[in-house]
Copies of this chain bind each other. A is one copy, B any other.
């Protein structure tokens, strides 16, 4: 996947052309929409600015914050900084992901649990490596009501140290293995860095799975099964391509054995973003928490169990907004959209007779019933005092995948007119075909959104074999695949070498050159099959490094 050389070139060109055409169409549609986006005089909400005012290309971070707020995904929690309210549109996405993932892990035999949100200082102190990573971000409760607690308790940043004392208690024999538990909860990490809705927040929703196995092999198998489910959340639900791989030692989970990850890509700024991680903990925690069983192969011998932990958080929603959104606002993949189709009546005005209006309404209701039976989530926008154009903008901002317009002219032709949110493409569907054509169209949108994102990611994953090409490639919004020695110190040095002195403070944002150094994102499972890298012979790309490259490693500026 990482090697474009392997792709069929003609297919690629065709797909590229489609994507470009789609982008052009979208741009045109956006322009057209802006022209009619003025609020209606006399309407209730004329004082509100409708539409997104920041440009995704020119001021990405302002654009993002505007979109998540105006599309009503989140609300800033004014009372305490770094916290956000997740509104129904976000919760629908999260619950869709939850149901899908829950169904799959239930089939695997993972059961649900709920551990307390607090962690005592005593448990925490057991695992130094692990705890060191989280200590600066722990929220401490030292008082309840007016009483000082005898021992302060921390709110979990993750639950290894909360849960594993019980794994030691519950796992008495190899027959109790595998033990596989998962919980859906929120965790608190009191970040000092600037927070961003979904991506970095001081409290976030996630699932955390914690499992124990008899052998390394069994544990490793699960690590990958879960990673594949995480990839499925991105690819199948959110229409986002990811690269599967292993984290380097520097970037792995503190206290674990190795970490696997799915990594995404944000085209607008060329940054990589960690999608979700599935960790093999090895026997590190089972030694600390004394989780052992009698070896079924060697009676009398005790062995430490092999553990995994894996988590997927509401961060996925932020990645989705960043990848698919455009200058008109949110663009939702149909599979996770709370509202997949919005009906907007057109051509109905003061001159329309009450009878005709009633008839029109009835027809739209009928169509909604048809769609509901076909499993499509739709609504009709009958709000008064707003023009159709205002409504179009409003629903586009909120990312509804498909708009169906219905007016007297459509009625006469027995069709509805549609407009796709992702491409702006317009067309007609015979009313008689709604039950089949609309679900098809939604799946087409889903597939096209994935395709577009996949092409963009593929084109911006560059194999680099000369050090001097690194920075220019990053500046062209690429992630880079480089021959790398896998050494932690070399990795630190690469970050320093690619960090620019921040000397462009006064340059307008859209002309700024990023100063951020690159870090390793993952060692992709799918290594390019080319002769440029012979493990142990080819030099590491870092010109200061004396080591030999072991793998192609994906580096990039990142979140």
Of the stretches A119-127, A299-307, A474-482, A548-556, the one at the interface is A119-127
The residue of chain B having its C-beta at the shortest distance from the C-beta of A142 within the complex is B142
CB atoms of A80 and B113 under 8 A apart? no
Residue A85 at the chain B interface, CB threshold 8 Å: yes
The CA of A342 and the CA of B111, in the complex, are separated in Å by: 18
The CA of A75 and the CA of B140, in the complex, are separated in Å by: 24
Residue A389 at the chain B interface, CB threshold 8 Å: no
Residue from A75, A92, A145, A172 having most chain B Cβ neighbours under 10 A: A145
Q: Which of A114-173 contact B (CB under 8 A)?
A: 114-120, 122-123, 135-146, 151, 153, 155, 162, 165-166, 169-170, 172-173
Of the stretches A183-191, A219-227, A427-435, A516-524, the one at the interface is A183-191
Given known pairs A80-B120, A165-B79, the reply for A144 and B190 (CB within 8 Å) is yes
Selected contact of A114 from candidates B45, B135, B170, B205, CB within 8 Å? B205
CB atoms of B86 and A113 under 8 A apart? yes
User: Closest CB of chain B to A485's CB: distance in Å?
Assistant: 34
Residue A63 at the chain B interface, CB threshold 8 Å: no
Selected contact of A91 from candidates B86, B114, B144, B169, CB within 8 Å? B114
CB atoms of B143 and A142 under 8 A apart? yes
The CA of A78 and the CA of B144, in the complex, are separated in Å by: 19
The residue of chain B having its C-beta at the shortest distance from the C-beta of A181 within the complex is B88
The residue of chain B having its C-beta at the shortest distance from the C-beta of A48 within the complex is B172
Residue A112 at the chain B interface, CB threshold 8 Å: yes
Q: What count of chain A residues pass the 8 Å CB interface test? A: 62
The residue of chain B having its C-beta at the shortest distance from the C-beta of A123 within the complex is B79
Q: Which of A244-258 contact B (CB under 8 A)?
A: none
CB atoms of A75 and B166 under 8 A apart? yes
The CA of A77 and the CA of B119, in the complex, are separated in Å by: 10
CB atoms of B79 and A120 under 8 A apart? yes
Residue A87 at the chain B interface, CB threshold 8 Å: yes
CB atoms of A190 and B145 under 8 A apart? yes
User: Closest CB of chain B to A352's CB: distance in Å?
Assistant: 22
Chain B hits for A87, CB < 8 A: 113
Chain B hits for A151, CB < 8 A: 80
CB atoms of A117 and B188 under 8 A apart? yes
Chain B hits for A45, CB < 8 A: 172
CB atoms of A117 and B203 under 8 A apart? yes
CB atoms of B166 and A85 under 8 A apart? yes
Chain B hits for A84, CB < 8 A: 116
Given known pairs A136-B145, A140-B141, A140-B143, the reply for A116 and B190 (CB within 8 Å) is no
Residue A104 at the chain B interface, CB threshold 8 Å: no
Residue A512 at the chain B interface, CB threshold 8 Å: no
Chain B hits for A123, CB < 8 A: 79
CB atoms of A139 and B137 under 8 A apart? no
Residue A175 at the chain B interface, CB threshold 8 Å: yes
Chain B hits for A169, CB < 8 A: 75
- A80-B153, A83-B116 given; 11 more Cβ-contact pairs under 8 Å: A44-B175, A79-B119, A79-B123, A79-B162, A84-B116, A91-B113, A118-B203, A137-B144, A139-B143, A141-B155, A142-B143
Pairs across A and B, CB under 8 Å, 11 listed? A44-B173, A44-B175, A45-B172, A75-B166, A79-B162, A80-B118, A95-B112, A116-B203, A139-B144, A140-B142, A185-B186
